[in-house]
Structure 1
Amino acid sequence: MPIATADAPRLDGIRCLIMGGGGFLGVHLANALARQGAVVRAFGRAPADPLELDGRVHWNSGRFEDPEATTEAVRGQEIVFHLLSSSVPGSPGQIPAFDLETNVLGTLRFLDICNAAAVRRIVFASSGGTVYGPADTYPISETAPTHPISAYGVGKLAIEKYLGLYHHLYGLEYIALRIANAYGPLQSILKRQGVVAAMLDHALAGKPLKIWGTGEVVRDFVHIDDVVSAFLWAATYGGPHRVMNVGSGTGLSINQVANDIEAITGTAKLSRNYHAGRTADVPINILDISLITRETPWRPRRTWLDGLHTTAQWMAAKRRAPLSDHARGRSPA
């Protein structure tokens, strides 16, 4: 049984909707909810890989911008998981007005639909990697100042604030989970996020590793199983806190990630192409996860090297190129 559901709450018969159910997090979450007994509806344009979606999940095709489609999807749902976003943190040539229109205003219209449909709770996928911006102390707690330096981070923070407003005005329950850098099986290499997936793909193909900046920026990497587990606990959480960090609580430099990927895949030392740093990248991001571990039974269960190894195995299988005998079954020192 996946770690995500090994010690997670049962959700028998609870009607759950996942907005963005065809993406990396959405598919994992939909499958986990189905395993926990929920009645699951997933909404999106199309699942990235329909074969990965549990057969018990009801799929609704539609666009977030279509009020008729979203109204139909929300009807009768008790818990809504809002995972949709039209942008990613490192997008070049950010267009704040586009992010505002599609993500923030789009979510406001969606909240009106949820409120009218008497949805009981919204669990929102926020971004622990971007809402804080450059921090003064680490790890970063939920009470730290928020100074996002990307349109993506500003949008995520704005949605959190509007969720708070809707709770105040209408009693709409919500939990916002500020997620660190998630990685794991099913993550696409085609999108402009997911350094682990991108590096693993290059390593398995024997290509140079692409690194932004010096490679000394530090990130908090959390396995997708642990992210999903946090969402399951958030669905039933009854405490007073509305915003919680979800991460590993530790940091790794991108250069260290590259070193570990080389060791995990058993490849000879790969060349590394260093590119100018991106304006949206903060030097260090490590999340303080003491709040969620205090308020819920959730703990990050996947160690970095174990999670990296299973992700590499999945990617190698997808490429039909098994890991070398040198790398199979071992972890780097």
Structure 2
Amino acid sequence: MRIAILGAAGFIGTNLSLFLIDKGIELTLVDRDRSLFQKQFLDTKSIKIIESNFDLKTDFDLLLRNQDIVFHLISTTVPTTSNQHISEELMSNVVTTSKLLESCVKTKIKKFIFMSSGGTVYGSDCNCPIKEEDSTNPITAYGIQKLTIEKLLYLYKTMYGLDYKVIRLANPYGPYQKPNGVLGAVTTFTYQAINGECINLYGDGSVIRDFIYIDDAIKGIMNIALDCSNERTFNLGSGKGTSMKELIQKIDDSLNLKLEIKYLQERKVDVPVNFLDVSKYENLYGPVQTISLKEGIVKTAKYLENTTGKVLSKSE
């Protein structure tokens, strides 16, 4: 089996690559800059690394030659800023992905795995936990582009028989996620906690999200990728909702730290409540979550200590 991962140097791509390396899979890893990859990838013989942008000039036929499965993990923007440049958001993601799908058909890709967004495609109108069949009314351009690509995949399946799976992922966290506050509340807050920094919290802390540790997410992603059923779209998360206030309290309790919180004005792009119904997945593969949020926070803190040089002690 030969697998190409687009967006392979990112958080999910790095963890997915590490998982597949352990399985002895032949990988082609694609991202915009070789320097973004973890050093251990550069010397691994079973890996081919390709530097490439994700735009209309990209030669996707060349990138996908002799591949069996494609993982599309790329998004050129993030939810919090996507509404600032809506036309660019759609052009850089939707139009470019349509060209990618054309190449998948030409190169006879056996299966296409798309990383959608369980946190943004549904919008604010659904009751939680949200099922895959619930209404989809995104309130961000990020969610709109994800949903539009899902529809494109259905079209390419109908027209050309392109096999695909859509993964509506919740909020993953853990090793190799950058604690820069752009994505990943658990990782960012944990990093700020162990470094004695003030935690910036938008709104009153009542926003509820679904957090899943990256190891559980990768296991789920691979189960869905190799799924042979006719199911196309899967939610993937813990199936539990945690408010931002509860998250901060769990970090406090897990690490035995007193945290300082700075409350900021709430953001219009934040859906008030979002957590996923994962029963479709669990009926096929069993529980998604094997690592609790508390355990995941501790694991994330240990990773951050090892990579940042910050040593956490119970007395801090």
- TM > 0.5 fold call: yes
SS in 2 for 1:122: strand
Q: 1:63 aligns with which of 49, 53, 70?
A: 53
User: How much has 1:66 moved relative to structure 2?
Assistant: 5.6
Deviations 1:80-139 (A, max 9, x none): 000000011111752110111000001001101111100011000000000001134210
The question of whether the paired residues in 1 share the 8 Å contact of 2:251 and 2:294 is answered with no
Q: Which residue of 2 aligns with 1:175?
A: 165
CA pair 52-272 structure 1, distance change in 2 beyond 3 A: farther
Distance in 2 between residues matched to 1:298 and 1:253, nearest whole Å: 22
User: How much has 1:277 moved relative to structure 2?
Assistant: 1.1
Q: 1:41 aligns with which of 28, 31, 38?
A: 28
CA RMSD between the two structures: 1.7
User: How much has 1:195 moved relative to structure 2?
Assistant: 1.1
Q: 2:62 aligns with which of 41, 59, 72?
A: 72
Deviations 1:8-62 (A, max 9, x none): xxxxxx0000000000000110111121232111100135342253823221111
Q: Which residue of 2 aligns with 1:159?
A: 149
Is 1:15 equivalent to 2:5 in the alignment? no
Q: Which residue of 1 aligns with 2:131?
A: 141
Q: 1:26 aligns with which of 5, 10, 13?
A: 13
Distance in 1 between residues matched to 2:205 and 2:36, nearest whole Å: 30
Distance in 1 between residues matched to 2:110 and 2:72, nearest whole Å: 13
Is 1:255 equivalent to 2:245 in the alignment? yes
User: How much has 1:191 moved relative to structure 2?
Assistant: 5.8
CA pair 298-118 structure 1, distance change in 2 beyond 3 A: farther
Distance in 2 between residues matched to 1:191 and 1:57, nearest whole Å: 31
Q: Which residue of 2 aligns with 1:217?
A: 207
Alignment of 1:79-118 (within 5 A): 79-91=69-81, 94-118=84-108
Unaligned runs of 5+ in 1: 1-13, 328-333
The question of whether the paired residues in 2 share the 8 Å contact of 1:22 and 1:44 is answered with yes
CA pair 100-129 structure 1, distance change in 2 beyond 3 A: same
Instruction: Give the alignment's TM-score, normalised by structure 1.
Output: 0.90
User: How much has 1:164 moved relative to structure 2?
Assistant: 0.4
Q: 1:285 aligns with which of 274, 278, 283?
A: 274
Distance in 2 between residues matched to 1:239 and 1:92, nearest whole Å: 34
Instruction: Give the alignment's TM-score, normalised by structure 2.
Output: 0.94
The question of whether the paired residues in 2 share the 8 Å contact of 1:91 and 1:192 is answered with no
Distance in 2 between residues matched to 1:95 and 1:163, nearest whole Å: 24
User: How much has 1:317 moved relative to structure 2?
Assistant: 1.6
Please, which moves more after superposition, 169-178 or 235-244? 235-244
Aligned-pair identity in percent equals: 33
CA pair 103-128 structure 1, distance change in 2 beyond 3 A: same
User: What amino acid is the match of 1:40?
Assistant: L
Distance in 2 between residues matched to 1:109 and 1:15, nearest whole Å: 21
